[in-house]
Structure 1
Amino acid sequence: MRIGLLPGARRDAMNLADTVRQVVQAENDGFDSVWFPQMSGFGFDALTIISMAGVQTERIELGTAVIPTFPTHPLAMAKQALTAQVACGGRLTLGLGLSHKPSIEGTMGLSYQHPLRHMREYLTVVRSLVDDGSVDFDGQVFQVKSDINVPGSSPFPIVTAALAPRMLRLAGEMADGTVTWMAGVKAIGSHVVPRIREAAEAAGRPRPRVIASLPLAVTDDPSEARERAARTYNRYGQLANYRRLLDIEGVEGPSEVTVIGNESQVEQQLRDFASAGATDFVASILPVTRDREASAVRTMEFLRSMVGRI
Structure 2
Amino acid sequence: MDIGIFSGVTGRGFDALVADAGDAAERGFHTYWLSQIVQQTDAMTMIGAAARRVDGIRFGTSVVPTYPRHPMVMAEQAMTTSLLADGRFTLGIGLSHRPVVEGMWGMSFDKPVRHAREYLDALMPLVGGAAARAVGETITARGELEIDAPEPPVVLAALGPQMLRLAGERCAGTITWMTGAATLAALTVPTISEAASDADRPPPGIFAGMPIWVTDDVDAARDAAARTFAIYGELPSYRAMLDREGLDGPADLAVIGDEDTCAGRLDELEAAGATHLVASEFATDAEGRRRTRSFLAGRL
Give TM class, smaller chain.
Answer: over 0.9
1:259 aligned to 2:255? Answer: yes
CA distance in 1, matches of 2:51, 2:210: 24
**Equivalent residue in structure 1 for 2:20, among 1, 19, 22:** 22
1:148 aligned to 2:145? Answer: yes
Per-residue CA shift, 1:15-37, capped at 9, x if unaligned? 21211221122111100100111
1:296 aligned to 2:296? Answer: no
Gaps of 5+ in 1: none
Amino acid at match of 2:196: A
| Aligned residue-pair number | 300
Change (3 A) 1:45 1:158: same
Match of 1:240 in 2: 236
**Equivalent residue in structure 2 for 1:79, among 76, 79, 82:** 76
Amino acid at match of 1:183: T
User: Are the equivalent residues in 2 in contact too, given 1:133–1:149 (CA < 8 A)?
Assistant: no
Change (3 A) 1:235 1:94: same
**Equivalent residue in structure 2 for 1:173, among 169, 172, 190:** 169
**Equivalent residue in structure 2 for 1:40, among 38, 41, 57:** 38
1:284 aligned to 2:280? Answer: yes
Match of 1:205 in 2: 201
CA distance in 2, matches of 1:22, 1:76: 29
User: Are the equivalent residues in 2 in contact too, given 1:37–1:65 (CA < 8 A)?
Assistant: yes
Per-residue CA shift, 1:145-201, capped at 9, x if unaligned? 1121113x1212100110011000101111111000101111111111111111111
Match of 1:186 in 2: 182
Gaps of 5+ in 2: none
Secondary structure of 1:106 counterpart: coil
Secondary structure of 1:268 counterpart: helix
CA distance in 2, matches of 1:103, 1:143: 23
Percent pairwise identity: 40
**Equivalent residue in structure 2 for 1:219, among 211, 215, 218:** 215
Structure 1 segments of 4 or more deviating over 2 A? none
Amino acid at match of 1:16: F
Displacement after TM superposition at 1:132 (Å): 2.9
TM-score, normalisation: structure 2: 0.97
CA distance in 2, matches of 1:161, 1:258: 19
Amino acid at match of 2:16: D
User: Are the equivalent residues in 2 in contact too, given 1:58–1:89 (CA < 8 A)?
Assistant: no
Displacement after TM superposition at 1:110 (Å): 1.2
User: Are the equivalent residues in 2 in contact too, given 1:7–1:13 (CA < 8 A)?
Assistant: no
Displacement after TM superposition at 1:143 (Å): 1.5
Displacement after TM superposition at 1:13 (Å): 5.1
Secondary structure of 2:128 counterpart: helix
Displacement after TM superposition at 1:133 (Å): 3.1
User: Are the equivalent residues in 2 in contact too, given 1:215–1:286 (CA < 8 A)?
Assistant: yes
CA distance in 2, matches of 1:257, 1:220: 17
